[in-house]
Chains A and B, each alone.
Chain A
């Protein structure tokens, strides 16, 4: 394979020249028109482009197809992608991904991959399956997540408990004038937070620093839980955590030197109640941290204008899918925490979700073949 001669080298030069011309055209467009407007690719443009790319599958084998599918072109394009993404990774606040040169490199890559798949399909055998999984997978994914993403939209919707909401905004701030009615509505039956127990610590009253200094020991305020911190032992004697009220623990603090025991209530407070510490002496006191959320979830029913209805629980890492919509748990009233009266959702409309997922699954299968078959020839 090495040094197959002049022919290969001249072809690589031709490809380099063509690519350089395309990238220069990209820069020219960038300086005259400014950044690329992604909305241009929205339906039906992306479908038309898909059909245009698809014709590459029907082109007969020949000089044209072999130029488009050339491996040297792949290396050149990959190198250009490497440099564009390096720029993206090093320069803060850049807009590379919407720049004309990058978009043109992206399109050339789509053409290159489509053409090489077209070549392989024409001499299909079992051996081409790993190749096809990797390349068809990445093609579908690049298509669906790239050109398809122009059809994607994203909204934020705040819903009060017990109410139905059709309106959403695109900023996430819920400004009244920016609200828009969607073809989808959410009815929030119940919002719930599961919390980790709050933690107890001994802190220095002047600084708020927890003991032992530098390696603070915080322990969960659970019934009968105890800890020893710098000469004191603390035990949780009882706990109260009523709706609307803050978590409160009744603790016993015993000084290991004198064996004196001090007792009292400690609470982290909430929007409704002040926090409460238990002074051990003039320098130190027992304090409680706010309980951290473990999981938060919304029990909802989703309605669409087309008459679909679907109920379920939406939580972080577990969205609800209704047609091409996915509904994500976004946030809640953190001031009120557990008592939040509303839940905010993120709604993503993505008609290209299924193709993208198929692409990803094909690529995972392809990655497994890479692992299984290795690269030694």
Chain B
């Protein structure tokens, strides 16, 4: 098995996942959809296992190989979350993000030979990034819901359980990402936390969501605290994409 076979497995899995998502939405029973998604996972794991055996070591040495794991884990964790919480849209989102990483691998074959530098060669690399991507999805959805909730504030508050749920799940993922990052940082250079610009912004983002969570527990008026969600999401976007452009971020270990 080599990268030249990837295209068949990639399209096979993507077709199964997309069909699975469509079936979750259309069919009365979710059994067919779940089966299709699992079949896609199985097909994709055959490729990873094949690559692993052919190379004689786990495929975790090039940028392309890490992208391969993202496309795989996004589906696994997205599916697990769907099974537990029943959010079908999350399964659709996971398929979309997975497809993006798959297309990066297909369209930029040079990343298959771009070597991973020694510091990035760690078991924490892939889970550290994957849980963040899922947390962004949850918190993004909470932000959209917060706008709708703000509009409906006078008539009803039907969205509040959903919003709180999304924030808790998203925040749980965010914390896992930060904590795994902390363990990795300790293993790699002796500090859990070194206030690197990306770390500072991740901290800011987490604090903003903590303010939301604690304000909810205090029962502060919704017309104020619902605004925290869009603000926190802007901070999240700065952490994710914006940090690299900030003057305070020059020399960050997280610039890539």
Contacts and interface: CB of A to CB of B under 8 A. Distances in A.
Interface centre among A292, A319, A364 (most CB of B within 10 A): A364
Contacts of B122: 317
B203 A85 contact: yes
Contact of A82 (B110, B207, B247): B207
B165 interface: yes
B77 to A, nearest CB: 10
Contacts of A143: none
A93 B167 CA distance: 33
Nearest to A146: B193
Contacts of A141: 192
Contacts of A326: 190
Interface stretch (B24-32, B39-47, B48-56, B208-216): B208-216
A1 interface: yes
Interface string A252-268: 00000000000000000
B167 to A, nearest CB: 6
Nearest to A318: B187
A356 B175 contact: no
Interface stretch (B15-23, B68-76, B95-103, B113-121): B113-121
Interface in A1-26: 1-4, 8
Nearest to A362: B179
B171 interface: yes
B218 interface: yes
B214 to A, nearest CB: 5
Given A78-B210, A296-B118, A360-B182, A154 B190 contact: yes
Given A4-B219, A92-B247, A360-B182, A328 B190 contact: yes
A89 B200 contact: yes
Contacts of A292: 115, 117
Given A82-B211, A363-B179, A370-B171, A2 B221 contact: yes
A199 B110 CA distance: 12
B173 interface: yes
B9 interface: no
A75 B215 contact: yes
Contacts, number: 151
Contact of B217 (A71, A218, A317, A366): A71
Interface in A279-307: 292-296
B92 interface: no
Interface in B181-208: 182-184, 186-193, 195, 197, 200-201, 203-204, 207-208
A245 interface: no
Nearest to A90: B248
Contact of B219 (A2, A91, A145, A328): A2
A376 B204 contact: no
A217 B214 CA distance: 54
B186 to A, nearest CB: 8
A71 B214 contact: yes
Contact of A370 (B169, B184, B191, B201): B169
A231 interface: no
Nearest to B242: A89
Nearest to B84: A372
A360 B179 contact: yes
Interface in B147-171: 161-162, 164-165, 167-169, 171
A126 interface: no
Interface string A72-96: 1011001101100110111111100
A49 interface: no
A294 B61 contact: yes
Nearest to A217: B110
Contacts of A356: 192
A360 to B, nearest CB: 5
B61 A90 contact: no
A328 B121 contact: no
A372 B248 CA distance: 37
B85 interface: yes
B234 to A, nearest CB: 12
A79 B211 contact: yes
A121 B196 CA distance: 36
Contacts of A2: 219, 221-222
Nearest to A366: B175
Contacts of B186: 353
Interface centre among B117, B119, B190, B215 (most CB of A within 10 A): B190
A224 to B, nearest CB: 15
Contacts of B221: 2-3
A368 B195 CA distance: 25
B246 interface: yes
Contacts of B85: 374
A282 to B, nearest CB: 28
Contacts of B115: 196, 292, 294
Contacts of A59: none
Given A367-B176, A370-B172, A374-B165, A360 B188 contact: no
B250 interface: yes
27 contacts: A78-B210, A78-B211, A82-B207, A82-B211, A85-B203, A85-B207, A86-B204, A88-B195, A89-B200, A89-B246, A218-B113, A219-B113, A294-B61, A294-B115, A295-B121, A316-B118, A319-B187, A328-B189, A346-B189, A353-B186, A357-B183, A360-B183, A367-B175, A374-B164, A374-B168, A375-B216, A376-B162
Interface of A: 1-4, 8, 71-72, 74-75, 78-79, 81-82, 85-86, 88-94, 97, 141, 145, 154, 196, 199, 217-220, 292-296, 315-319, 326, 328, 346, 348, 350, 353, 356-357, 360, 363-364, 366-377
Given A317-B188, A367-B172, 14 more contacts: A2-B221, A8-B218, A72-B218, A75-B211, A78-B210, A88-B200, A292-B115, A346-B189, A356-B192, A370-B169, A371-B81, A371-B173, A375-B164, A375-B165
